[in-house]
Amino acid sequence: MTAPSTLLSDRLQDPRLIRQYAYLNGKWTHGEGGREEPVTDPATGEVLGHIPVLEEAQITAAVDAADAAFAGWRALRANERSEILEAWYALLQENSEDLATIMTLEQGKAIGDSRGEVQYGASFIRWFAEEGKRTYGDTIPSHMPNAALGSLKEPVGIAALITPWNFPLAMITRKAAAALAAGCPVVIKPSNETPFTALALAELGERAGIPAGVLNVVLGEPSTVSKVLCAEPRIRALSFTGSTRVGELLMEQSASTVKRLSMELGGNAPFIVGPDMDPKEAAEAAVAAKFQTSGQDCLAANRILVHESIHEAFVEAFKESMSALKVGNGLEDGVDLGPLIHGKAVEKAQSIVDDAVDKGATLHESTQTPVAGDNFFMPVLLTGITRGMKVWDEESFSPVAGILPYSTDEEAIELANDTEYGLASYLYTHDVRRIWKIMRGLEFGLVSVNSVKMTGAPVPFGGVKESGLGREGGPTGIEEYLETKFFCLGGM
């Protein structure tokens, strides 16, 4: 194993949070074949450290460990599991600055956003620590004589959790806290771009008293890991957050073992602005909804639909607000947008811009001086966009915004729904009848009216259409990890 880089550990109050190993059965483990992969800082290109590439047998060993731990974990009383989760939550709080630093170094996001994500991610642990005490069953009025009927809630079994790089901490805790609270052991496969946040979470989990085998982190070639996890009959639930393309692949790979599937996939959010809105207020909200995490957010407002009567004023206000965003290394004070995750993301952003301009859109650039560095991409706006352009048809996942005018509420609804995705949508208007009509017409799992912020631990988060299956957070979030066992007591 390559000697640990000090680029990460030197910046931390507790350097022991940096683990360059997989975490199997409570042990920090090398890859048996000796293969490893570098993890780089997207802002500087520097190598932060290495992670092992596990062999198939080691991934199966993680499932063996989870299987062996299952009986003990489910047998704990709900309040005992809750105490362990509360201890994990407290450790996230105690180490919040280190966790935020790790996240910014490996993901690139502004340190303020990383701090926010630690709080957001930790909130799921606290929420599910409580919710795990309330997995009630039912009694059912009997339709038969001399019988008592009811149902129990039981943990579904081992859960595999596969997560993306854009929210390296919260996408893990949103799943793991619910699964663990329900009594399910977990095998986590984080993104290879952001493994150190996941490994720090495992280290804190161990300190919190999560027993060996209950929480495992596997690393390696994504297609190898998913092949083993999907084909493994002992894994009863697969929860994935990532692109629709990979989600569809995992659904196919899981078909032969008929797992419970939870899919949090891509989005292409519309942001509708009504004619009654103050253009400046609405434009500031749209800029916030578009550019967080440099646009690499499944909730990012990609297709901004503005009523024709305020379109011109809105575009001017948007440009001004966009130009105030400071791009740079996420560790620096005052930076709003960090780099994109890697060179391919920069190429994709440029191709979206080129495609739109070739097809007749107008490009508006930020007035800020461009930042030097391979992975930096300055925020831009495209006006005059139309269907058939990549900026309309694809999930952009970049700081490229597009604005289109519309004339009637019906047209706004039709344009908003013109996508295979159905995750988030935004609506800005103070007209109550318009709110009700448009909200009911939007084919999205989440509708946020007059607010950019919408997510949180109590919220049923998830999409319709090709944005996914199932909901995370809220009481429905724990249901993803529970089976309903019906019982009939005859001869009563």
Q: Which residues are catalytic?
A: 264
Handedness of CA 63, 239, 344, 107 (dihedral sign): negative
- CA pair distance 63, 218, nearest whole angstrom: 10
Chain residues that interact with ligand NAD, rule: CB under 6 A: 162-167, 171, 189, 191-192, 222-223, 226, 241-243, 246, 249, 264-267, 298, 395, 397, 423, 463, 468
- CA pair distance 427, 447, nearest whole angstrom: 7
Strands 400-406 and 301-307: parallel
Cβ distance to ligand NAD smaller for residue 46 or 252: 252
Q: Of all residues in this chain, which one has the CB nearest to ligand NAD in the complex?
A: 242
- Which residues, including other chains, have CB under 8 Å from residue 489's CB and lie 6 or more apart? 147, 148, 149
Classify the phi-psi angles of 447: left when phi > 0, otherwise alpha if psi is within -120 to 50, otherwise beta: beta
Cβ distance to ligand NAD smaller for residue 199 or 283: 199
Please, what is the minimum distance in Å from the beta carbon of residue 472 to ligand NAD?
Answer: 7
Please, what is the minimum distance in Å from the beta carbon of residue 234 to ligand NAD?
Answer: 19
Cβ distance to ligand NAD smaller for residue 162 or 317: 162
Cβ distance to ligand NAD smaller for residue 112 or 222: 222
Q: In what order do the strands lie in the sheet with 380-383?
A: 362-365, 380-383, 400-406, 301-307, 269-273, 424-428, 446-449
**Backbone dihedral angles phi then psi of residue 260, each to the nearest 5 degrees:** -70, 125
Cβ distance to ligand NAD smaller for residue 267 or 328: 267
Q: What is the DSSP letter of 327?
A: B
Please, what is the minimum distance in Å from the beta carbon of residue 467 to ligand NAD?
Answer: 6
Q: Is residue 14 classed exposed, middle or buried when 0-12, 13-18 and 19+ CB atoms within 10 A define those classes?
A: middle
- Which residues, including other chains, have CB under 8 Å from residue 297's CB and lie 6 or more apart? 166, 397
Please, what is the minimum distance in Å from the beta carbon of residue 169 to ligand NAD?
Answer: 12
Please, what is the minimum distance in Å from the beta carbon of residue 397 to ligand NAD?
Answer: 6
